[in-house]
Amino acid sequence: MRLIFKAPWTGGRARMAVCLVRVSLGATVRSGGMPGGYGELMACRISELVLDSRDPERLAAFWCEVLGYVVLDRGDGSVEIGPEEGSGGLQPTIVFNPTDTPKSGKLPLHIDVNPTDRDQAAELDRLLKIGARPADVGQTGEESWHVLADPEGNEFCLLRRQLSGKP
């Protein structure tokens, strides 16, 4: 699986209402999806996502299975997962922080995933077998994607297009 982070575009700039995303400052990467085409340089990139979780170990195990990630670090009840090569690469890591507060309502940010080694239907079957469940956020049934929820109810989408497994 590859991660794709979606944000609404406004005036050629991405704006995300996300507070708990740490960025790796100083890294310069080409922006491939900004309106106006390629060539703009960004001074930072997303290096990790931080999600509150009632059971960080359980959620980390689920997302490791979804993304082919491994556990990179554990400490103070938190679990960090990421690609085998570790943090600092092109793919962000995900940190699950413990919380006693249950999720309420829809998250302002969600993760979209694409299949890498099978078609969408086969990937949907795999995700459902490892603990994802269908989620209804008002879709019509005509969408080309599937809305799912992880074991704690966090919505994510399985998109149709198959991507290379390489970042």
Would you give the distance in Å from CA 45 to the centre of its chain?
Answer: 14
Residue 70: inside a domain: yes
Query: Whole domain around residue 152: which residue ranges?
Result: 2-9+51-158
Domain CATH number, residue 139:
3.10.180.10
**Band of residue 162 on the pLDDT scale cut at 50, 70, 90:** very high
66, 83, 51, 81: which is closest to 152 by C-alpha? 51
**Band of residue 106 on the pLDDT scale cut at 50, 70, 90:** confident
| pLDDT tens by residue, 64-100 | 999 999 999 999 999 999 999 988 888 999 999 999 9
Instruction: Tell me, yes or no, if the pTM score tops 0.85.
Output: no
- The confidence score (pLDDT) of residue 89 equals 86
Residue 64: inside a domain: yes
The count of domains in the chain is 1
CB 111 within 8 A of CB 3: yes
CB 148 within 8 A of CB 135: yes
- The confidence score (pLDDT) of residue 44 equals 86
Residue 125: inside a domain: yes
CB 7 within 8 A of CB 15: yes
Residue 20: inside a domain: no
Can you spell out the DSSP letters for 70-106?
EEEEEETTEEEEE-TT-TTSSSPEEEEEE-SSPP-S-
Residue 163: inside a domain: no
Residue 30: inside a domain: no
Q: What is the mean pLDDT of the chain?
A: 80
CB 155 within 8 A of CB 147: yes
Residue 92: inside a domain: yes
User: Stretch 137-159: mean pLDDT, rounded?
Assistant: 95
Residue 23: inside a domain: no
Reply yes or no on whether the pLDDT at 136 is more than 90. yes
